[in-house]
Amino acid sequence: MSVSQLKTVLITGSTSGIGLAIAKMYAQKGYNIVFNGLEPNGAEIAAEVATAHNIQHLFFPADMSDPAQIKDMAEQSLERFGTVDILVNNAGVQFVAPVEEFPEVKWDAIIDINLNAAFHMTKALWPKMKAQKFGRIINIASAHGLIASPFKSAYVSSKFGIVGFTKTLALEGGEFGITANAVCPGYVFTPIVERQIPDQMKVHNMTREEVIQNVFLKEHAVKEFITVEAIAESVLFLTDSAAASVTTGIALSVDAGWTAH
C-alpha cells in the first residue's frame, strides 16, 4: 500500500506531552504522521516513533505563531501524503498573572499559539478535506474552555475561543463529511504542569504533595491527574469509532469531574 493510500494525521505540538501520546497512538494504528514541535531533539523523537511502528512521517519545527510556517507545513504535508485526514490542533502555551500585571507580549503569544494557530492550520487543510468529503478535526481545548479560573485571562480566553471555533467548524463541515470536536482535559501531568509545581510551592508555601492535592487536583472529583493516554484515547474515539461520523461540535470533558461543579 502506498503512502497516499494510508490515512494521515497531522498533530501540532506532538513531540512532547499530550501531542506525543496522541502521535504514538496513531502510529500504533499505522497512520502516516506529521509531527510538529520546538524541542531541540524533536526530529529524533519523531523518527524514533516512526521507526518503532514502521510508519511514514514528516517533522516540522514550525513556529505555530507564524501563519506562513503553518501554511508551509500544510502544503508540504499534502504534497508528501496527498491528504491529511485527521488534524489535531494541540500546540499550546500558558502564563499566569493578575490581569493588571499580565504582559501584553504574553497575551499575544497565548492567543496566537492556542487559538490563531488552530484557525490557520484548519484553513490550510480545509479545502482538501472538503474536496475529498472527509475530515476529522480535533481541537485540544481544556476544562478552561468551559469554566474560568483567576489569573489565567489569556489562556481561558483562548480555550473558550477554541470551543466556539470547533462548533462553527462542525456546522460548516457537516455536509462535506468533516467533523470537528474539542477535547477538554482537566489537569494532565505533562512537562508544563511539572514546571509549574515549584512556583506554586513558593507562592503557597506548600510541599510538592500539598500543591498537587490542594492546588492542581482541588477541583477534580477524582483526585488524580488525567493521563496523556486518556486524552489520546478520547481523540481516537472522536476520529475512529463507530460514533465518529455523527459526533461533531461537542466539547468532550475528560476532567475527573472538574466541570461537574
Model pLDDT, residue 5: 56
Report the pLDDT averaged over residues 121-129. 98
> What sign results for the dihedral spanned by CA atoms 160, 164, 165, 166?
positive
Q: What is the dihedral of CA 114, 115, 118, 120, to 10 degrees?
A: -120
% of the chain at pLDDT higher than 70: 98
Q: Are residue 10 and residue 20 in the same domain, yes or no?
A: yes
Identify the three-state secondary structure at position 97.
coil
Q: Are residue 57 and residue 91 in the same domain, yes or no?
A: yes
Model pLDDT, residue 191: 79
Is residue 155 annotated as part of the catalytic site, yes or no? yes
Q: Of 25, 74, 79, 52, which is closest to residue 240 (Cα–Cα)?
A: 25
Model pLDDT, residue 195: 83
Q: In this structure, what C-alpha cell is assigned to residue 49?
A: 516513533
| Site of grid cell 505533562 | 190
Q: Are residue 31 and residue 104 in the same domain, yes or no?
A: yes
Q: Are residue 195 and residue 183 in the same domain, yes or no?
A: no
**Confidence band of 68 (pLDDT split at 50, 70, 90):** very high
| The residue type at 61 | P
> What residue numbers bound the domain in which 39 lies?
3-188+226-260
Q: Are residue 162 and residue 98 in the same domain, yes or no?
A: yes
For residue 86, CA distances in Å to 6, 32, 106, 181 come to 12, 10, 30, 12
C-alpha 211/C-alpha 114 separation (Å) is: 26
Q: What is the dihedral of CA 55, 38, 164, 228, to 10 degrees?
A: 60
**Confidence band of 42 (pLDDT split at 50, 70, 90):** very high
Q: What is the DSSP string of 127-190?
A: HHHHHHT-EEEEEE--GGGTS--TT-HHHHHHHHHHHHHHHHHHHHHGGGTEEEEEEEES-B-S
Residues 6+ away with beta carbon under 8 Å from 26: 9, 11, 33, 86, 236
Q: Are residue 151 and residue 250 in the same domain, yes or no?
A: yes
Model pLDDT, residue 170: 98
Which is more confident, 189 or 65? 65
> Cα-flanking dihedrals φ and ψ of residue 62, to 5°?
-70, 140
Q: Give, to the nearest 10 degrees, the angle between helix 117-132 and helix 153-173.
A: 10
Which is more confident, 141 or 199? 141
**Confidence band of 3 (pLDDT split at 50, 70, 90):** low
Q: pLDDT digits over 179-215, tens only?
A: 999 999 999 988 778 888 888 898 789 999 999 999 9
| Site of grid cell 501520546 | 21
Q: Are residue 117 and residue 20 in the same domain, yes or no?
A: yes
Q: What pairs with residue 184 in β-bridges?
A: 253
Report the pLDDT averaged over residues 159-165. 98
Report the pLDDT averaged over residues 156-162. 98
Q: Are residue 7 and residue 119 in the same domain, yes or no?
A: yes
Report the pLDDT averaged over residues 82-96. 96
- For residue 158, the domain's CATH number is 3.40.50.720
Residue 4 reports pLDDT greater than 60: no
Q: Of 64, 65, 66, 86, which is closest to residue 77 (Cα–Cα)?
A: 86
Phi-psi region of 82 (alpha: psi -120 to 50; beta: other; left: phi over 0): left
| The residue type at 160 | F
Q: Are residue 95 and residue 159 in the same domain, yes or no?
A: yes
Model pLDDT, residue 2: 47
Count how many domains the chain has: 2
Stated pTM of the model = 0.95
Average pLDDT, the chain: 95
> Cα-flanking dihedrals φ and ψ of residue 11, to 5°?
-125, 115
Q: Are residue 134 and residue 202 in the same domain, yes or no?
A: no
Q: Which of 26, 31, 155, 187 is catalytic?
A: 155
Q: Are residue 43 and residue 97 in the same domain, yes or no?
A: yes
Residue 245 reports pLDDT greater than 80: yes
Q: Are residue 119 and residue 206 in the same domain, yes or no?
A: no
